[in-house]
Amino acid sequence: MTRLAATACLMLAAGGACAAPLTVAISTADGAPYADVVAILDPAEGPAPTPAEPGSAVIDQVHKAFVPRVSVIRTGTAVYFPNSDRIRHQVYSLSAARSFNLKLYAGTAAPPVVFGQSGLVVLGCNIHDSMVGFVAVVDTPYFGRTGADGRARIEAPAGRYRLRLWHPELAATVAPRAVVLGAEPQTLELRVARGDDPSAVSPWVD
């Protein structure tokens, strides 16, 4: 792409033109793909666009575990917590970004929980202490979560962004980095250090 085309694409970014898919490829220090890493693109110039209407998401409970274990959602999203186990669960959170407590239940009877404030929400079950889940709530619509291959694809207009990475088991906080998207797809390959204590929770990166 020429410099003139790139400049024009940046000027059109506010209108949502020149969508530029970004693939974030995350691996551990030994080169293994790292799943469940949250990747967030915050617009560097101006606020993120407001969604037309709130969305919804599902976090299931299967074999005494939250599925998915790590979720990333936009602020205002209503999350449903069905219970696919044959035993009852009582989902709760004491996090500052969203505290709640769903009474002991089975099946799909629990009402949805709306996450209206950005930040990290840690989930638990009052009945099963081993059940722990994480919800990353963000103000931007440009985010993703790496799969088993360690890759996440984020669709965003051309422009300047700040990339944040988070995973519950990082050995150290990953400093946000500046990213410039143009009209053509690009891939960022990054390595992060994984912590040795699976019970520790990495600090949230604002």
Kindly state whether residues 15 and 80 are assigned to the same domain. Answer: no
Q: How far apart are CA 32 and CA 65, in angstroms?
A: 24
The Cβ-side half-sphere exposure at 204, using a 13 Å CA radius, reads 15
H or E stretch covering 15? none
Confidence of residue 20 (pLDDT cuts 50, 70, 90): confident
Task: Answer with the one of 139, 168, 188 that is the final residue of a domain.
Answer: 139
Which structural domain range is residue 174 located in? Answer: 1-48+144-206
Kindly state whether residues 43 and 73 are assigned to the same domain. Answer: no
- Percent of the chain topping pLDDT 70: 91
Kindly state whether residues 42 and 56 are assigned to the same domain. Answer: no
Q: How many domains does the chain have?
A: 2
Task: Answer with the one of 123, 139, 155 that is the final residue of a domain.
Answer: 139
| pLDDT of 5 strictly over 80 | no
Kindly state whether residues 12 and 43 are assigned to the same domain. Answer: yes
The predicted-structure confidence for 62-106, as pLDDT tens digits, reads as follows 999 999 999 999 999 999 999 999 999 999 999 999 999 999 999
Range 165-175 average pLDDT: 96
CB-based contact 57:67 (threshold 8 Å): no
